Structure 1
């Protein structure tokens, strides 16, 4: 028996990925530098990887030449790429839009006659169509609102927080259902939604505040009945959609005997730190809910000097920690951005795994793209996490078993020293080393 190993190093700003194999032998009692994998001990099912097609991503994509458009889409959705099967996009505008917009803005139009996806049809939908064409299958799409139309808000604005006026709760629920139905009419596989992106954040961009009780009441009394009325109750609704540190409190406040059937998942972001134990706590207390990472990116306002290796390691560290804590799916933020880290209508510029120089029609695949691929290229939708142990806190590891019974082990060495590995599995041992500052995927 052999294990196939794919290792990526990054030295002197040069990426190098090599493949090699290691032979398994009978375990003779090795104790040191051991990593143990237990395929028969199974945890949560994993549904896949993806990223967001924002208006910013779609607009940037539209400015690239035909060959680079093919390269970008193939890099994410092609069989030789990162094999994404999930997509998130926004209901109406978000910060990563070219400007603010809504599908309708008439407070008297209760029948939504003026409702139009014209703005989505300019940049988001064309990119989504090409992604599906390249993937050769329907992608599972999540919709998330950043703000209701301004006339529905307590502050009369899409920005600076504000809240949904109680008298517009029914109208807003109908609006969301219309959005889903219009996307489905166009043939897209809308399977998931979140109630509100970052409901605890008052932002200079599109945002809306919900207390836990407001989110619960909107879901229970307005959104869920509207989904049922519109025959959309197959949509999987996730609550929270914000940072990890308060996800348990939000889940505990919203999910009860009455709302349990209405909530399929808890969505979370990474911006307030690891909080892997928060994910684990939600997994333990709400074992039937899907725990979905719905957004994370390298913000220039916080990490502009970190460098590609640190940024890529941040992705791998988070993916490993999240999966080990019980995560069911990982959806990155923008698929692509321009050379400025936008466009972003409030200047909230960020990094993306693939960056585009729209002035010179040039594409740069960042190291973070490669690191994500160390997971997404090999962990198949439907895989299950299996048990593993490791010998050092300098080493991070996660192990998965695919539907085809292949085992995938991802090992991250963030230290400045080479690490030796004695991989033990079902009475066999294979020995190999992890270079300093490297990531390795093993398949057997």
Structure 2
């Protein structure tokens, strides 16, 4: 067997390749990472990012050729292998302002429903990705807020709740959105009930308790999707931070009628690792799809961190989530401007690619390559397999692709090089994972 080792490190060597042979003689017992490809776990659904209005607007400021390059960098065959996308139902904070598809409070038939706003920047960005992608992109759609008139606080920002008398109409509204996307060949296959239902934000937000989310799924969203011929659309609950993942899953799925409509659970990273929560949910509810639905490096907390720190946040979290059972990964904004926006309330963040329209340039940040060490090589349909490792200073996840290729991702966040012996039942290869680097090893016959 032979291997190719692809390395990206803090010295900005990106996707540097070396090759070698997996020895057919014993490699010893020290510095070992054991591989057990016969011991498989979850399957990978894919990787992707969010098509926000901010991303679409920013890309639109670049030349036509640059727009295509950026789309190919994510979704093209020469890119980092994205096959999934996230879209917002109505506006989110990374929009140019609040907007909804219906603004008329008396429109109980959704006659005035219009996604004209999405046609300006969101849909063109989707089209660029679709043109670049070798296959079909699947989208997960999430609402940040219903229209203001449907909410108790009469505005899209600052939380509030969905008024009880609008629950059925809101469910129909979501169905209308999905059908409208499908009519434009935007393949929405999954929805979340509410982005960050526990958060009351200064931007677009809406609060649901666990009981309220359960009731909305059970009595309105699930039945309405079925009535509208959309029962194949997968409903995801929670879509918020991992520290309450298990509690929210248990609160909603303990209702048997509601649980029949729920296909997955989404989680974010903003409150820390909590990888055990993913594992607990997977063990308790093995039929649920487990998706990371949002994460980014917030400038409000990490403005002074360098690119290595930001990239290693991604590497550590993706790797830990994968080993806990994650099946799909959706980063936040695909691209942002040089300030980390636009954002209609100034909630600026980092993205893997930043653009500067003023001078007509764009930059792939180190995080782009760190994400790519997973997304480019772990293919849809790949199965995770088990490993053991000699130290917690090296972080490891391992996968077997549908074609039989083994993919091992190794993350070294230490300030010194670490030796690694990849071993399968005594035979293997001796490697060195450089300080502050990530390496993907592809093993083929």
Structure 2 length normalisation: TM-score? Answer: 0.98
How many residue pairs are counted as aligned between the two chains? 442
Structure-to-structure mapping, 1:23-34, within 5 angstroms = 23-28=21-26, 30-34=28-32
Aligned to 2:274: 275
Structure-to-structure mapping, 1:120-135, within 5 angstroms = 120-135=118-133
Structure-to-structure mapping, 1:373-384, within 5 angstroms = 373-384=372-383
* Unaligned runs of at least 5 residues, structure 1: none
Structure 1 length normalisation: TM-score? Answer: 0.98
- Tell me the CA shift for residue 287 of structure 1: 0.7
**C-alpha separation in 2, matches of 1:31 and 1:372:** 31
**C-alpha separation in 2, matches of 1:47 and 1:105:** 36
Provide the secondary structure at the position in 2 that maps to 1:264. strand
Provide the secondary structure at the position in 1 that maps to 2:42. strand
Structure-to-structure mapping, 1:236-251, within 5 angstroms = 236-251=234-249
Aligned to 2:174: 176
RMSD across aligned positions (CA)? 1.0
**C-alpha separation in 2, matches of 1:29 and 1:357:** 50
- Tell me the CA shift for residue 427 of structure 1: 3.7
- Tell me the CA shift for residue 235 of structure 1: 0.4
- Tell me the CA shift for residue 71 of structure 1: 1.1
Q: Is the 8 A contact 2:27 2:429 kept in 1?
A: no
- Tell me the CA shift for residue 188 of structure 1: 1.4
Structure-to-structure mapping, 1:66-77, within 5 angstroms = 66-77=64-75
Structure-to-structure mapping, 1:202-213, within 5 angstroms = 202-213=200-211
* CA distances 1:94-150 after superposition (whole Å, capped 9, x unpaired): 000001100011121111111000000000001101111110332101110000001
Aligned to 1:443: 442
**C-alpha separation in 2, matches of 1:77 and 1:240:** 27
Alignment counterpart, residue 194 of structure 1, candidates 184, 192, 195: 192
**C-alpha separation in 1, matches of 2:48 and 2:284:** 26
* Unaligned runs of at least 5 residues, structure 2: none
Provide the secondary structure at the position in 1 that maps to 2:207. coil
Structure-to-structure mapping, 1:148-167, within 5 angstroms = 148-167=146-165
- Tell me the CA shift for residue 17 of structure 1: 3.6
Structure-to-structure mapping, 1:24-423, within 5 angstroms = 24-28=22-26, 30-256=28-254, 257-423=256-422
Alignment counterpart, residue 22 of structure 1, candidates 20, 23, 34: 20
**C-alpha separation in 1, matches of 2:112 and 2:14:** 53
Which contiguous aligned blocks of 4+ residues in structure 1 show a shift greater than 4 angstroms?
Answer: none
Q: Is the 8 A contact 1:410 1:442 kept in 2?
A: yes
